[in-house]
Structure 1
C-alpha cells in the first residue's frame, strides 16, 4: 500500500499496484480470487476526494467484487501500454471502461508521457509546421496545449482535432479487442465550470457522439450521464480535501454523483447477466 500525496497536512488517497504494472490504482489492493468486475478509467473512476467512489458503491449493490482500476492521469496510451492491467481486465467477468479524453494520447502532432497521459512531452515536425508561431517549450499539459492552439487558429486546430479523434477511435477499438470481455462504456459528459471559458466543450474533451457510436460493435453497452463538478452540483461540502486542494476538488465528481453513476451501471450490468 502506498499513498498519493497532495500537500502538507492534506488528506491522502490510498493507492496500490497490481503485478508489474507501474500505474497506481485506487486502494486498498484486492486479492482477486473471486469473480469481479474490472472498472478502468481516470480520476473520476479513481474517485479523487470522495470516500466511496462508484466502483465501491456498485459492488455493495451488485453483490460481486467491483475492482477499482482507476488511475488519476491514466489515458488510452497508459492502458494499452500496460500488459498487467490488460491481463486483469481480461480476467474479469465484465468490464466498465470510462471514456478518456481524446487529447491525452500520442499522435502524429505530439507525444504524451506514456503513463501520465495528460503530460505533453514534445511537438512533432508536423505540429511545428502547422503552428510556426507557437513556442511549444511553454507547455506541460495537453489541455493547456489544446486551448492555446485553438486560440491561435480555430481553422488550423481542426486538423489537430481530426487527427486526435481518428487516433482515439482506432485505439479505443484496440483496447476493447485487447480486453476481450463484455465491456460497458461509461461516458461521463461534464460541461465546463459555470465561470469558465471553455471553447473545447464538454469533457471528455474532443469526444463526440459519432466517435462513441463507432465503438458499438466492440462494446456490450454504453451508459451516458451528464455530470457536473462538485462546485456546480453543490457537493463540495461533502468532499474530502485539504486547504490547497479546493480548486481541484471543485471540478471532481461529488459523492451524490458517484451514487448516481453506480445506480445507472447496476441496471445495465444486471441486463448483461
Structure 2
C-alpha cells in the first residue's frame, strides 16, 4: 500500500509562524512561556508525509514540551538570518540540531534564497569563471547545480566542495555560539558514510563527513549518530500519507518506523541530560 488514503494529500501540518518570523514551521504552535526543548533541522525534523514526526514522539515519550522548528530542505542560513527563531531556540532548555547538508549555503561561489535555502539564486563571478561552459540560467536547486558541476569537471568541482565544507563549519559554529544553550547534534543516516574523498550526490545530509562532525564536538553538549535500521528502511512508504503524485518524493524521505527509531534515541538522550 503506497499511501494511507488514496484520496488523501499530505498530513495536516498545521503550518504556523512564531512572532515576527517569516519562516513557516509545522504546528500546532507551542507555548513559549514554559520550559521547552527546541528541535531544528530539515525535512525529517519537519516530518514530511508522516503523521507523527520524531519531535512529537519525543514529546510524548518524555513529557517535555518540544518546539518543532524543522523546515523541509532547510539550510543554516535561514536560521541565522531570523532573529526571532534564534531567540526561541536560545530560550530553550536544550536544542537538538539535525545535521543539515552543506549545499544550501551562501558562499563565494553562489547565492541561495534567504528562507528556502535549497533554491539556487545565482552564480557568483568566481563560479562563472571556474565553470565558463555551464549555463546557470536553467538551474533552480543547489543539489542539481552541484551534480551538474561534478559531471562537467570533478576536479574543479572539488574546489567548490572545499568551500562549502569550510563555510558549513563556520556557520555551524556561529549558530551554536549564538544559541548559547546545550546543543545536541543529530546525525541521521541510512547507511555508513563513504570513506573520506568519496561522495554520493544523493546522500542526505550532502557533503558531510565524520571529520566535520568531529571538529564540532568541542562546541556541543552531545553528538548523536543514528543509522536507520534495514528493517525500517524496508518498510518504504508504509504508513505515510501523500497523494499519488507525491510518490517519487515520499520514497526518498524517512517513514514512520525511522521516526520511531530516531525518537527513541533522542528521548533517551534528553532523559539522561536534562
**TM-score, reference length from structure 1:** 0.91
* Corresponding residue SS for 1:215: helix
Aligned to 2:71: 71
Aligned to 2:196: none
* Corresponding residue SS for 1:57: helix
1:254 equivalent to 2:258? Answer: no
Q: How does 1:60-209 map to 2 (within 5 A)?
A: 60-190=60-190, 199-200=200-201, 202-209=203-210
Aligned to 1:22: 22
Cα distance in 2 between the residues matched to 1:87 and 1:222: 23
Cα distance in 1 between the residues matched to 2:54 and 2:104: 23
Aligned to 2:9: 10
The alpha-carbon deviation at position 33 of structure 1 amounts to: 2.4
The alpha-carbon deviation at position 110 of structure 1 amounts to: 0.3
Between Structure 1 and Structure 2, the one with more strand by share is 1
Aligned to 1:43: 43
For the Cα contact (< 8 Å) 2:143–2:201, is it kept in 1? Answer: no
Give the RMSD, CA atoms, in angstroms. Answer: 2.0
1:221 equivalent to 2:219? Answer: no
CA shift digits 1:113-159 (9 cap, x unpaired): 01000000000111011111000111000010011001111111110
Cα distance in 1 between the residues matched to 2:269 and 2:8: 40
* Corresponding residue SS for 1:251: coil
- Residues 230 and 236 (structure 1 numbering): CA distance in 2 closer, same or farther, change over 3 Å? farther
The alpha-carbon deviation at position 229 of structure 1 amounts to: 10
Aligned to 1:4: none
The alpha-carbon deviation at position 226 of structure 1 amounts to: 2.0
Aligned to 2:32: 32
The alpha-carbon deviation at position 179 of structure 1 amounts to: 0.7
* Corresponding residue SS for 1:185: strand
Where has structure 1 moved over 6 Å in runs of 4 or more? Answer: 228-231
For the Cα contact (< 8 Å) 1:229–1:250, is it kept in 2? Answer: no
- Residues 212 and 270 (structure 1 numbering): CA distance in 2 closer, same or farther, change over 3 Å? same
CA shift digits 1:24-79 (9 cap, x unpaired): 10111112222110001111100011010001100111121111111123210001
Gaps of 5+ in 2: 1-6, 193-198
Aligned to 1:195: none
Aligned to 1:271: 272
Gaps of 5+ in 1: 1-7, 193-197
Larger relative contact order (Cα-Cα within 8 Å, sequence gap ≥ 6): 2
User: How many aligned positions are there?
Assistant: 261
